[in-house]
Structure 1
Amino acid sequence: MTDVRLMVKAPAKINLTLDVLYKRPDGYHEIEMVMTTIDLADRLTIEPRRENKITLDCSACYLPLDERNHVYQAAKLVKERFHVDEGVHIYIDKQIPIAAGLAGGSSDAAAAIRGLNKLWDLNMSVEEMAELGSHIGSDVSFCVYGGTAVARGRGERIERLPSPPSCWVILAKPPIGVSTAEVYGALRMDRLTERGKSQQMIEAIWHRDFPGICRSLGNHLESVTLVKYPDVCVIKDRMSRFGADGVLMSGSGPTVFALTDKESRVNRIYNGLRGFCKEVYVVRLAGENQW
């Protein structure tokens, strides 16, 4: 057993678009969404252990450390797929809020796959790692790639995009958790009034058109979450009122983000939220591709 310790970064993502196209025969929804990573990240420390077991530890006491954890699932899947007869211990330094629509668990799983690929000399390509990740969760494939991309199908078909223009991102998460499965289960396709925005967003990104990116923000799941959780609606209104160039809920929520390319507006938006919402973060887009 080699005495190796790997540190792997697991960045959060935001959805610039989330278009739900139709319900598939297998019960999943066909989606098309544009995602990009932001400068808010968990960090995994991965090291071998003598006993042939997977063990986890985490800075957040509320996360399960067994088969319910996406990192455990990723390590188990890699071990089984490649018949690895070695143990591993993974420590998760948790900075991304959970159940927030920011793919924290998915990004951790993707980081575990990337780290174990290196630790165990498995020589998987990024495409092979993304395929493996698709068995764990819909966002894991994107998180393996990182950067900026459009995801289709259930989220497993990835087409990489150039990074958007740099800007500030103000995130606000109300003190609630949202179940992605429940949101999709409550979605009424016949009541969607807004057309999908992904193709418009892709064009704006290719042209590095920041105002066009802000105009192209769209998320069909808002039709469920904003009704069920009015606080999310209040956050969106406050962000717009305090000068955000674009505002959207990420994923199934409840986190809402504001985009602005003007530093003078950042503090105004941040301070306008602090009295209403405890979890507020100011970060930058980090949507550079890793590969």
Structure 2
Amino acid sequence: MPKTINARAYAKINLFLRVVGTKKDYHEIESLLQSVDLYDEITLSKASDGSITSDFPGDNSLIVLNTLARAFSLGGMHLSVNKNIPLGGGLGGSSADAAAAALACAALWNLPLTKVKKLVSPLFGDIAFQMTGGTAIARGRGENLEVFPSLPLYYVLLAFPEKGVSTKEAYALSDTLPKGNGSGLSLYWALSRGEKADRFYLNDLLSPAMLLNDEISPLLNKMQDERALLTGMSGSGSTLFSLYKTREDAERMASTLACKTFITKSISPFAGK
């Protein structure tokens, strides 16, 4: 068996996010998720001293590795992370790293992948999706996945306000505001046909995020574009996105924005690759 595994931890965007309700200490959601070609790079190595450590001690990855170590009586490991996904932007960087760490751990110790996913999926909202990637609707806390055929290739313009948004505060504020209606399925079918999908867009965390961060609303208005199939905010923010059929159109819009931007693309499922 290898002593070191290198892996990529891919970001996600929420194309649709409806807060369904609350249960115990978390919110139930319905969210259409899409992987994008922006990723952290992780390296998981066996550690002879038996310790389980990470470059980011407070990261979710350590919880995942300790969970798997207890379940399978594993030895020590060290996780190194080269961060490219912005922190606190609604792109799921922490869960992406944890998902990649789980997959790397399975490869490093030759663990049964089905059991690894079953153990890890309930731990964090996005991790079940980010161990599979591609396109899916997540329900419940995010652990219940309905996987769909990949959407057509879209170029994704990401725009980053200077200030972030606290996920905890956004969800708490959403409890005091009206919720939207609709289904991520309608949005999925529109995008699968290459149609504009703004009429199906919903993110129940957008209004709370706008109240918490005054940069979001003017930037979102600036990004409205007839050539974009969909424009919105990912997760609890503050990252905004637009989907385009061509990179040129994405670059044209990016050139008009004063904030930091990044152009990437949608990607297919990556689990097992």
TM-score under structure 1 length normalisation: 0.87
2:121 maps to which of 110, 131, 134: 134
CA distance in 2, matches of 1:237, 1:129: 43
Deviations 1:122-144 (A, max 9, x none): 1231xx33332234311111111
CA distance in 1, matches of 2:199, 2:269: 22
111-120 or 182-191: which moved more?
A: 182-191
Matched residue, 2:10: 11
CA distance in 2, matches of 1:190, 1:71: 33
CA distance in 2, matches of 1:229, 1:269: 22
1:288 partner SS: coil
Matched residue, 1:236: 220
Matched residue, 2:234: 250
Alignment pair present for 1:89 and 2:89: no
Deviations 1:138-192 (A, max 9, x none): 1111111111111011101011111111111000111222221111111136622
CA distance in 2, matches of 1:195, 1:151: 16
1:166 partner SS: coil
224-233 or 103-112: which moved more?
A: 224-233
Matched residue, 1:204: 190
Q: Which amino acid is 1:224 matched to?
A: P
Q: Which amino acid is 1:53 matched to?
A: S
Matched residue, 2:200: 216
CA distance in 2, matches of 1:228, 1:28: 20
1:36 maps to which of 34, 37, 51: 34
CA distance in 2, matches of 1:122, 1:284: 31
2:13 partner SS: strand
CA distance in 2, matches of 1:50, 1:93: 23
CA distance in 2, matches of 1:3, 1:247: 43
RMSD between superposed Cα atoms in Å = 1.9
- Percent identity of equivalent pairs: 32
Contact persistence 1:148–1:160 (CA under 8 A)? yes
- Paired residues for 1:69-84 under 5 Å: 69-84=59-74
CA distance in 2, matches of 1:36, 1:287: 9
Deviations 1:29-85 (A, max 9, x none): 22111101000001111111211001223xxxxxxx32x21111111111011121x
CA distance in 1, matches of 2:136, 2:225: 30
CA distance in 2, matches of 1:230, 1:211: 30
CA distance in 2, matches of 1:287, 1:248: 21
Alignment pair present for 1:49 and 2:47: yes
Matched residue, 1:103: 92
CA distance in 2, matches of 1:70, 1:137: 8
2:256 maps to which of 269, 272, 283: 272
Could you tell me which runs of 5 or more consecutive residues in structure 2 were left unpaired when the two chains were aligned: none
Contact persistence 1:149–1:161 (CA under 8 A)? yes
1:214 offset after TM fit, Å?
4.5
Equivalenced residues, count: 272
Alignment pair present for 1:174 and 2:164: no
